[in-house]
Amino acid sequence: MTATTMAVVIGLLALRGGPVPAQLPGISPTPPGSTAEVDPTLRRVLGAAGPGQLVEAVVTFSQYPSTIVLRTVRATGVQVLGFRSLPMIGVRGTAAQIRSLFSLPGVRSIYYNRQLDYFLNQSVPFIGADRVWTELGFTGRGVGIAVIDTGIDGTHPDLTFGQKVIQNVKVAPDLFGAGPIVVENVPNTDTTNGHGTHVASIASGTGAALAGKYRGVAVGANLVGLGAGEAVLFVITALESFDWVLANRGTYGIRVISNSWGTSGAFSPSDPINVASQMAHDAGMTVVFAAGNSGPGENTLNPYCVAPWVICVAAGVKDRRTLADFSSRGIP
């Protein structure tokens, strides 16, 4: 789907606000006797890995891992990246070390840290957003929209950092490195790509650059940028962004999370991205994912938008009834 379509839906969702729950829900335990789900892609990568070659993966647990569990994981020799809210860890190690994690008790799934894909002044009146502003009085005021994407250029007049963009976070590209994992209060986190800036501006841009001509759909909403990767996006970086949102949603009033990116393959509720999106949903946030741009064939949907707890957004043409040819499809 296009960034325009995605941001329009995000903006509409933010037009009305509400209270943010104070507590995260519990994680349902893995049923007794069940075995960990291992990502087929990870199995292939491990099978092809040479001696000493390092592989990155995400281990999801049935509940938040204890200190004892983390100590057991580290004893295998892998590097470990912890999260604050998500019941999972990132790991980096050799094929043998990663395989040794398969049989650990309490493991729900293990997935490869794969690379993901990033999938108009006419759009606002086309969907009737301007009438919602004037006739119903809903503009998104007081609602925070978290944009997990390439970042947001807060130096743009339509997206002024400190006013429209109330927080802008850069997620480090090497989360296993020695530097900080995330850096907050960065005016411009989208210096080379522009995809996230595009999404953010259509969702809630002020239109100041051209006297209000290109205002976003939820013009009164606040924006929170999560720059998860300008050139490339990986699973662990996206998860770190979700983790930050879960930990900071109350501070910034975040009610909507934009995800105009994804991958291909089958849906699994134990995929770490789907676990993260369900936690965000259960915490009171609306999670939106792009359907993808792999149409018109059947069964081409981004698997992250298949989850029943997210809103999957496709692209359409201007007759308001027809899917765009490139927009991904599900199974009839």
Q: Has residue 321 been placed in a domain?
A: no
| Range(s) of the domain holding residue 80 | 37-114
Do 180 and 164 lie in one domain? The reply is yes
Residue 294 pLDDT grade (very low, low, confident, very high; cuts 50, 70, 90): confident
Q: At what angle do helices 195-204 and 3-13 cross, to 10 degrees?
A: 40
Task: Work out the percent of the chain whose per-residue pLDDT is above 70.
Answer: 87
Q: Look at residue 92 and tell me whether its pLDDT is greater than 70.
A: yes
Do 166 and 95 lie in one domain? The reply is no
Do 252 and 134 lie in one domain? The reply is yes
Listed residues 95, 114, 133: the one ending a domain: 114
Q: Look at residue 33 and tell me whether its pLDDT is greater than 90.
A: no
pLDDT value at position 212? 79
What are the pLDDT digits (tens) for 250-260?
999 999 999 99
pLDDT value at position 83? 95
What are the pLDDT digits (tens) for 298-312?
888 999 999 999 999
Q: Has residue 326 been placed in a domain?
A: no
pLDDT value at position 332? 77
Do 148 and 81 lie in one domain? The reply is no
Chain mean pLDDT for the chain: 87
Do 231 and 282 lie in one domain? The reply is yes
CA distance 109 to 323: 34
Do 226 and 106 lie in one domain? The reply is no
pLDDT value at position 140? 78
What are the pLDDT digits (tens) for 188-208?
999 999 999 999 998 989 888
Q: State the CATH number of the domain containing residue 235.
A: 3.40.50.200
Q: Look at residue 271 and tell me whether its pLDDT is greater than 90.
A: yes
Determine the number of helices (DSSP H) and then strands (DSSP E) in the chain: 9, 15
pTM: 0.87
Structural domains of the chain, count:
2
Do 258 and 229 lie in one domain? The reply is yes
Q: Which of the residue ranges 64-78, 83-97, 165-179, 275-289 would you say has the lowest mean pLDDT?
A: 165-179
Mean pLDDT of 266-291: 96
Do 52 and 76 lie in one domain? The reply is yes
Q: Has residue 331 been placed in a domain?
A: no
Three-state SS string over 10-69 comes to: HHHHCCCCCCCCCCCCCCCCCCCCCCCEECHHHHHHHHHCCCCCCEEEEEEECCCCCHHH
How far is the CA of 107 from the CAs of 3, 69, 103, 217, 246, in angstroms? 35, 10, 8, 42, 22
- Name residue 243's amino acid: D
pLDDT value at position 202? 87
Residues facing 312 on adjacent strands: 289
Listed residues 114, 132, 164: the one ending a domain: 114
pLDDT value at position 3? 54
What are the pLDDT digits (tens) for 116-153?
998 845 566 666 777 787 787 877 788 999 999 999 99
